[in-house]
Every structure is written in structure tokens, then in C-alpha cells.
Structure 1
Amino acid sequence: MGSIEINIPTSTPTKPELHETKFGVKKIWVQIQSVWEICKEDTGREIFALKVGVTVLLVSLLVLFEAPYQVFGSNIIWAILTAILVFEDTVGATFNRGFNRAVGTLVAVILAILVAETALSCGYLAEPIIIGLSMFMIAVITSYMKMWGALVQYEYGFRVTLLTYCLIVVSDYRIGNPIKTVIDRLYTIGIGGMISVLVNVSIFPIWAGDQLHKELVKNFHSVADSLQECVKKYLEDGSEKSKITMASIDAFHDEPAYMRCQSTLDSGSRFEALAKSAKWEPPHGRFMHISYPWFQYVKVGAVLRHCAYEVMALHSIVHAKIQVPYKLRVGLHSEVEETSNQAAELVRNLGRDISCMQWSVKDSHIKRLHNSIKRLQSSICFQYSYMLASSTFESPIPHNPSKSFTNISHIFYHLPYQREMEEETECYQEIKGKQLRRLCSWPPREADVFEEDSEQNIKMRGIESTAMLSLTNFASSLMEFVARVEHLVEAVDELSKMAKFKSALLC
């Protein structure tokens, strides 16, 4: 009879297994650290979770203790359900949800009593038919009405109406005591909703109005910082910048300017949700007006997002494949930088005014911004005319640059003060003309190249014209940003009047 050998391994774990174990522990530790960082960034989540726990504990005591349970009975379980469903992260959202639940329950109670009495009077055979048809009709009507645009915010109320109606009607048909069911339903919902509201208001309340106010101010500073970062990156020397030619915007997710603008552009739906919740909140803190204009915040945020669109356009030009050479960009360095700084400072002042609930923007801010735009517009028009003349006629820079400026100024952004600007730029154009005469052709080429290879010369001039259009596009987007900032000033001015901001004082 053959023997069978059984080998039992007695060796310790191999090195790869130990390495995998250490790697798994390290991965878990990294995940714990990331969760901790998220908790430190937004403490509102922890507060909300703790308040929900306190609410559920308080309501459950009515079931766990014998004395209240004997008073309310098994129907007190609906109080726990109501407390969980009504509790929201902000006070306004809790009030809104509680109102929807209360109104929906009352409507369902009235309809259920009417239908139950009607079905009972029609006889034993017709009663189930009437109840079934009524449930079908209520389900169709409530499901249809909650999809209307004006009634979407009351969607939870329609859902509660359908649920409560079905429960009362069915229980009445089987038990035969609709009045008791209605009373139990009402007081249990009232207990759960009252406990949720009291806990949310009394323990570290999170007001939707405060969040809307702070996030709007934060977006103002984000747009201003993003504008200055884009302009600074564009005016850097090309040899010092990393060449990024990727067209996908996902390639720029690690850039602070792009991320801040993206968060501003994505804030529209959140602003609307916060404004809808804030209108349910009672006067509190600095917002003591009975009808505070919360939806004006949404309008200001919409105008600010239009400014952020132009910053994103500037960002795309910075990363375009065809770029104007640095020696031509440096010719507009002072004008572009001055315009961006003035626009960013004005946007920051608007954000500070909203933060301090005051109105301090003066005409001097706007006048300085207009003067910087005049200089930028005249300079870009003169440079474009110089590039156009040198590329087409191979002639030196014109002796009277103001004429070239007036010939092509119609293709640029026109401001209300265009006529005044043409009269004030002659002296300035003479200074810029001296600077441009010192600029050599781009890219650098020897003199005999123009004579030996005419086709290559034409091709390079085409690239020069395209590159100059890139500079013009950047300047035009910057001018468009300034034009939208003027609309932003008007929107903030309207908000200051509606919200009754104070006069300019130090915060």
C-alpha cells in the first residue's frame, strides 16, 4: 500500500507579504489623515451630525421611557420619523421642510375625512371602490403638481400629502376610526417637528443667510485674485514659463486661478438653494430686516460669474499654442498690469462693502479704471497698426501714430469716452513710438533671409499677425472684464439700497 506525504509549511510570512501588510496600513493611515483634513476644513458637518444625533435621542426618549410611552402609545414612532426627515443642515431649510410637512399633513387630513365620510355613506359595496379611486386621483394630482416650475420647492409637501392620505384612508377602512388616526398623526408630527426646530435653532445654529453672505464675499476675492494671477502669468517671460499646449481644461486642475474661477462658476445652484432657505429664516444677527433681499445676492452672484467667464477666457489665452513674443508683450506690460490691478482692486472693494454691509465705492475708483483702459486701448491699437504696417508694406514705424490709431480704432472695444481719448493720446503715442522703434522683428532673423526665402518670409509674417491677434484678444477680454465690472458695481449698488447698507465706515 503506497504512502502519502503531507507537507505542512512552517515558515514565516515572506517579505512580499510583509511589504503588502505595511503598504495596507500606510494606505489606511493616509485615508484617515485625509478625512481629518476634511473635518478641519468644514466644522459645520460635524455640528450638523451631532445635532441630528441629539434630536433623535430626545425623540426616542418618548419611546424608551415608560411614562411618555403610556401617554402617546405606539404612534410616537411617527415623531422619530418626522424628526429625521425634517432636520436639515441650515435653520431656513429646516423651517421650509417643517412647513411643507405640516401643510401636507393638514391637506391630507381634510381630504381623508371628506372621502372617508363620503365612502361610508355610499354603502358597503361602493366604499372600497371610492377609496381606491380617490387614492389613484390623489396620487396623479400630487405627482403632477410637484413637477410644476413654481411648485418644485414644495415637492416634499406634495409627497407628504400623498403618503398621509393613503395611510389615513386605508387605516380607516380596516380599523374604522379615522378621527383617532388623524389626531395621533397630528400630535406625533408636531412633537417631532418641534424638537427638530428647537435643537437646530438653540445648538450652534447654521444660518443659510450667513453662508450665502460669506460665500458671495469669498467669490469676489476669488475673481480678483484669479484675474491678477492670469495677467501675471501672461506677462512673464516665455523662457521662464512651462510650455503647456494641452487644450483640455482638465490639464489645469492644479492651477489656483483656474480652480477659484471654477468654484465661482459652479456656485449658481448653491446660491439659489441658500437664498430659498434664507427667506424662511427669522431676522437674526446683522440681517434684522423682515424681508431681507436674499435673492438680490443671487443676482449679484450671476453678474460676478459673468466676470469670471472673462477671467477663464484670459486663462485660455495664456495657455494658447500661438503666443505673441515677450518683447511685444513687454510693450504693453505697464498698461495691462495697471488695468488688471485697478479692476481687481475695485472688485475687492465691492466684496469688502458687502462683507461690512456698507457702500464706499466712489467715482474715483471708476475714473482711475477708465483712465487705465484709455491707455491700454490706445496702446494696443497703436501696436496693432505698427505690426500691420510693418508686415504689409515693410515700412518703418509711422511718424504720425495717431493717424494709424484713428484708422483702425473702429475694430476695437469702444467706450463712451472714445472721442475724448483720441484727443489725449497724441503725446502718449509719441513716447510709445520711440519704444517700438527699438523692437526688432519676430522671430529674430538675419537680413538676407528676407531676400533669399520670400515664401518663408510670408509664412513667418502670417504667424506674426496671428500672434498679434492673440495679444489683441487678451487685451479685448480684459476690456470686456472691465465693462462687466461696471454692471457689477450697479448690481452691488442696488443691493446696498435694498438691504439698507450703512454709509462708508471702517469695519
Structure 2
Amino acid sequence: MNGKKGSCVMIDINLMSKAVPPEAVRKSGGGGLAPSRKWIRDVWEFAREDTNRVTFSLKVGLAVLLASLLILFRGPFEVFGNNIIWSIITVSMIFEYTVGAMFNRGFNRALGSLLAGIFAIVVMHVGLSSGHIAEPYVIALSIFFIGAATSFMKLWPSLVPYEYGFRVVLFTYCLIIISDYRMGSPVRTAMERLYLIAIGGMIAVLVNVLIFPIWAGDQLHRELVSCFSSVADSLEECVEKYLRDEGLDRPEFSKKVMDEFPDEPAFRKCKATLNTSSKLESLANAAKWEPPHGRFMHFFYPWSEYVKVGAVLRHCAYEVMALHGCLHSEIQAPYNLRCTFQHEILDATNQAAELIRSLAKDISSMKHTLHSSPLRRVHSSTERLQRSIDTHSYLLTRFTSPPPMTVFLLPNCRITLQHPLSQSQGLLRQVERAVLQQQQQR
């Protein structure tokens, strides 16, 4: 193994290539008990992170149970028959985590089922009126046309939010028209299925809205506030580590170091903030479908502004990520140089973090209490840091030494010393040359 300060020989003797460490034997001695405990602990931690996950699961089970009662009781089953399965399918398909997402999907489901039912009834009438010979061809051409049209329209940029609705049109139309081809009274069967889809949708809406509702607007609000706090914490952690690191035993900048980045809190928080783009957009789109609720008692609440603020905040997170990259750079400033500007750097960092937390507090309380004083303090702290850098600019040169010192030995004889304490031999030579030059001038 070659090192930077010398070399040594490393001998690796492998006596048992297939030997199993004793620790592994002890761990595997319990059979499947240890993995099962780990799985239970992971499930428990996953549920503790967000209790709404458990609430959502229980609500889905309740909604499916209520829809299944239409089959379990004899009266509804005698009226609708096996078509009751459409209510259960509707509940399982439109029930979403948040109320806004469910309204969005429910609207697509309702509109798609209505259009599919209308198309199916029209095509059935056309097929019956065209005769038994032409009816299969009419149905086949209609299926081809509906499949091609819905698949093309869901790719249209302005219709992308309604992509699920086009899938429902194709799915429902094919099931209605194919399953009723050999049955009598197809119009009655199609209407019954539309009724059952409406019943399933009403069950899902009532359960999701009336029993511990999970609002997308509230989640969007909390997510944006947590992003502000994460950026402020990451900024302080990066600067504190930069000033605390003395540069001893620094590992080489390699893939191994890159793999260790996720273990650092500052890196994790910044990465989580940068990955919130799609989440904020989806929550904002879902919140637009929600009725006024809680603190958001205004129609047409500007949810899109949350997405814009999140985009600006991600630019700040990129800057913090750049600071984090400086911690693992191969080229580092000396530790004593960092200590020279430590007070000014900490002051500027604390003022910037306080400003970010003030913005988060204003967004959380939905009150404009932020004045210009935090921003002025940030500007003044950065100006003090800049003045300190200008004052000690000589430390940033290649040779970190004080400015040149001029010594007058004889009249009209001046010597400029660059390193008066470290280069004694050069000093003597300069003195000798100056004395000889003075004698020659005389």
C-alpha cells in the first residue's frame, strides 16, 4: 500500500475463504425472528412519521365496507344485482389521500363515466337500428375510434390534468358496450351502472370529507414552512462545520466521500428541499379543488403562489448545497485564516438564518410581521465581512505574510524586506549590496 509519507507492505492471509463471522452466526441464530422485528419496527416508525397515513387507511377500509353493504344486504342486491361491484370499484379508484386530490379524481371519474355512458347508449341505438349483421362492425369501429381519440387527447398539453378522465372514458365504454352486447335492455343496464358509480362516489366523498379530513391546502402550507426551516438549519450547520474543521485527517475527494454525503444532516435537509418541487405542485393542484376550510376561507385562494415561493427557496437551497460542497473540496483555506474571519462569518450566517426563519414564521401565522430591520442587519453584517476581507486582503495572497517592511540603514539607502524573520541570509546580502552602493556613490 502506497502512502503520502512512506510505504509499507500489507500481507492479507485468507485462511478460510468461506468462513462466516461469529457475529453473523449469532444474528442468524434467531431464524426469521430478527427480520420480522425489524419489519414491525419499520412499519411503526413509518406510521409515527405521519399519523394521517393510518387515518387514510382506516377511512378507505370504511368506505369500501359501506359500498360492500349493498351486496351483503338482500334488498339492494335484488334491485341492482351484480352491477353493485361498480360502486366498490368507484370507491377504490377515486379515494385519495387528500380531499382535493379526491375531488379532482372524482370529477374526472364522474365526467368520464357520464361521457362513456352517453357514447355507449348512442352506439347501442345505432347498432340495433343497423341490423344484426352490421351491429358487430359498428361496435368494433366505435371501440377503435374511442380508444384512438381518448389516447390522442390525453397527450394534449392543456388536457394533461384530465388524463385520468380519458382513461375512465375508454375503460367504462368498453366494459359497458362489450358486456351488454349479448344481453337484453342494454340502456337499462348502462343507466344502472351509472347510478351505482354515483353511489360509490358519494360514499367516498362523505367518508373522506366528514371523517378526519386531510386537506391538501394544510399540507402545502406546512410543507413550505418546513422547507424554510430546513434551509436555515442547513446554512448554519454548513458554516459551523466549516469553521470547526481543522483540516486534520481529511479524506481524499473520491466516490467514497460522495457516498458519505447523505449521512450529513445539512446535505439531507437541502436534498429534501430540492426534491419538493413535484410535491408542492401536486399539492397546489389538489388544493384548488378543495372548498374553503379552516384558515383558508376564501374562494380562489392563490395556491399557485406557494409554488412560486418554493421555487425561489430552492435557489437558496442550491447556494447552501454549494457551501456544503466546499466542505469536501480538495483545496481548503488554512484553519488560522478561517479563524481570522470567524466572527464576521458567524454574524452574517446567523442574520441570514434569522431572516429565513422570520419569513417562515410569517407564512406559518399568515400575518405580515416582518419589518425591514432583519434585512438591514443582513446587509450590515455582509458589509462588515467584506470590510474585514479588504483589511486582511494580504492574507489571501500566496504567501500569507504581513505587508513589506522598509528599513532605512544609511542616508539615501532604503531596503525593502519581504520576509524579515525567515530569510536572514537574504537580508545580509541586501545589507552588503546597499553598503557597497552607498560607498560607490560617495
Aligned to 1:374: 383
Change (3 A) 1:169 1:450: farther
Q: Percent of pairs identical after alignment?
A: 54
1:283/1:289 contact within 8 Å kept: yes
Is 1:50–2:58 an aligned residue pair?
yes
Change (3 A) 1:105 1:333: same
1:93/1:277 contact within 8 Å kept: yes
Is 1:221–2:229 an aligned residue pair?
yes
Is 1:108–2:116 an aligned residue pair?
yes
CA distance in 2, matches of 1:27, 1:195: 39
Deviations 1:470-500 (A, max 9, x none): xxxxxxxxxxxxxxxxxxxxxxxxxxxxxxx
Is 1:160–2:168 an aligned residue pair?
yes
- 1:22 pairs, out of 21, 30, 33, with 30
Q: Which amino acid aligns with 1:25?
A: L
Deviations 1:108-141 (A, max 9, x none): 1222222222233333332222221111111011
What displacement does 1:358 show? Answer: 0.6
User: TM-score under structure 1 normalisation?
Assistant: 0.72
Aligned to 2:297: 288
CA distance in 1, matches of 2:404, 2:162: 69
Aligned to 2:250: 243
CA distance in 1, matches of 2:179, 2:49: 49
CA distance in 2, matches of 1:450, 1:58: 96
CA distance in 1, matches of 2:49, 2:223: 14
Q: Which amino acid aligns with 1:271?
A: L
1:51/1:203 contact within 8 Å kept: yes
User: TM-score under structure 2 normalisation?
Assistant: 0.82
2:216/2:283 contact within 8 Å kept: yes
- 1:274 pairs, out of 283, 289, 297, with 283
CA distance in 1, matches of 2:158, 2:141: 28
Is 1:59–2:59 an aligned residue pair?
no
Aligned to 1:337: 346
The 5 A counterparts of 1:91-240 are: 91-238=99-246
1:116/1:172 contact within 8 Å kept: no
CA distance in 2, matches of 1:389, 1:24: 62
The 5 A counterparts of 1:324-403 are: 324-384=333-393, 386-388=395-397, 396=403
CA distance in 2, matches of 1:347, 1:135: 57
Change (3 A) 1:99 1:311: same
Aligned to 1:253: 262
CA distance in 2, matches of 1:176, 1:227: 71
Deviations 1:182-240 (A, max 9, x none): 2111110011111011111111111111111111101101100110010111111505x
Q: How many aligned residue pairs are there? A: 390
Change (3 A) 1:314 1:77: same
What displacement does 1:17 show? Answer: 8.7
Which structure has the highest helix share of the two? 1
Of 166-175 and 136-145, deviating more is 166-175
- 1:32 pairs, out of 33, 40, 63, with 40
1:386/1:398 contact within 8 Å kept: no
Structure 1, unaligned runs of 5 or more: 1-15, 400-439, 452-507
Aligned to 2:274: 265
CA distance in 2, matches of 1:37, 1:162: 41
Aligned to 1:75: 83
Of 331-340 and 283-292, deviating more is 331-340
Aligned to 1:414: none
Of 302-311 and 107-116, deviating more is 107-116
What displacement does 1:26 show? Answer: 2.9
2:395/2:402 contact within 8 Å kept: no
CA distance in 1, matches of 2:361, 2:249: 35
CA distance in 1, matches of 2:166, 2:292: 28
Bigger CA radius of gyration:
2
CA root-mean-square deviation = 2.6
- 2:316 pairs, out of 283, 307, 310, with 307
